[in-house]
Amino acid sequence: MKNKAMLMSLLGALLALTSCRDLTLDPVFYALEKEQPLEDDRGFPDAAIVHRIVKTGTRYFAAANKLYSRTDGASDTWTVVAPPVPGAMCNTLEVFAGQIYAGFYDKSIGAGLGLYRSAPDPISWNLLGTGTSSQITLIKAVGSAPPRLFVATWSGSAYTLSHSTTGDDGDFTTVSWGTAPQADLPIIDVDSNDSYYWVVVGNAVYRDDLLAGLGTLAVLPAPSSGTATYGGVFLASTGTLYLSGGNGLLHSSIDGGGTWSSSAVVLDDKDNPVPFAGFALPTSDTTNAVYVGTRGFGYYRIPGGAVTATLVRSPAYNISALYNGAINCLLYDGSVPQARLFLCTSGSGLWRGDYLSGSEWSWKQE
């Protein structure tokens, strides 16, 4: 009778667990409740350093030293895209004018191989220019009138930034700086609203002085980040400009960067400032929140897009592998039947959130 009672108690506990829908549970209980694991086994390496993910048409591309691709079907899996040179590695890419642009480098000698372009399917790489020993560090398409492609490179001693409205070979122009930034400061991010272009360099923000064009880039009176570099700049569809800091601060501007509002300092569990990274705006989230990644603490939601509001660390339930991997890139895809949010991490692979409701996502490691 004693064993029977214990068995009945255990059965009751399991029944209670399977009927629970609480997303704040620890991941092991959440996985049991959903009756599915946190891994989807889509062929993507779990410990990968994922630098960037983009989508064109129905196809995703992810730069994780190797370049991976899959279509957006419910059960589609990832395959490795052959590089232009055997053994070449890829850590940055972008979609521009229907083409894939990627920066490849040779890890064995620590040298860049240049900027390559291809149609998304089938892949047939073409080198733009004659190749270079410089490392391609950023490829970013911004604006719409006209769209413009920015490419940043590192030569081993200095960063450079160029741009093009066609992306064609020989059609890139080096940006003009009012006061040039220190040569070894990284070029972190670029965005535009077609009236202005913003470029984040180290711990400074630059803006062009020519409306509806790209004039001389001059330093803005941006909020201080101390010695920490900024994490990213993002123009939301609301017209608000966001800027993330490595010092636990988030900033926003409604006048193009002329004046800024700032959050309270966000601290981690050890009272250190949280280093923030890039942004996304998942339009399926009914709280109208802007999402911002961090370097090792998951992502935060900015409720209603107001940085002065109380920021919410997410996911609500603790997934240590996701929390511990620095988030390099976020990609929201609202074109599929169940909206998705991808998180690219350093050392914890690629995570996919399938939208549930409100601000809740069901997380899986691809």
CA-based radius of gyration for the chain: 22
Sorted by where each begins, the domain ranges of the chain are 25-365
Distance, in Å, from the CA atom of 60 to the CA atom of 232, rounded to the nearest integer, reads 22
pLDDT at residue number 37: 56
pLDDT at residue number 211: 66
Distance, in Å, from the CA atom of 8 to the CA atom of 268, rounded to the nearest integer, reads 43
Orientation of helix 27-34 relative to helix 2-18, angle to 10°: 90
Distance, in Å, from the CA atom of 345 to the CA atom of 365, rounded to the nearest integer, reads 11
Phi/psi at 260 (nearest 5 deg)?
-130, 145
**DSSP 8-state class, residue 73:** S
Distance, in Å, from the CA atom of 239 to the CA atom of 256, rounded to the nearest integer, reads 9
- Cut 0.85: pTM above it: yes
Question: Degrees (nearest 5) of the Cα angle 345, 347, 349?
Answer: 55
Question: From first to last of its 366 residues, what are the pLDDT tens digits of the chain?
Answer: 434 343 334 334 333 333 333 333 333 223 323 334 587 889 999 999 999 999 999 999 999 999 999 999 999 999 999 999 999 999 999 999 999 999 999 988 777 889 999 999 999 999 998 666 689 999 999 999 889 999 999 988 999 999 999 999 989 999 999 999 999 999 999 999 988 999 999 999 999 977 657 889 999 998 988 778 999 999 999 999 999 999 999 999 999 999 999 999 999 888 999 999 999 999 999 999 999 999 988 999 999 999 999 999 988 766 877 777 799 999 999 999 999 999 999 999 999 999 999 999 999 999
302, 250 Cβ separation under 8 angstroms: yes
Helix then strand count (H, E) for the chain reads 3, 28
pLDDT at residue number 8: 38
Report the amino acid identity of residue 224.
S
Distance, in Å, from the CA atom of 129 to the CA atom of 255, rounded to the nearest integer, reads 38
- What dotted CATH number matches 25-365? 2.130.10.10
pLDDT at residue number 9: 41
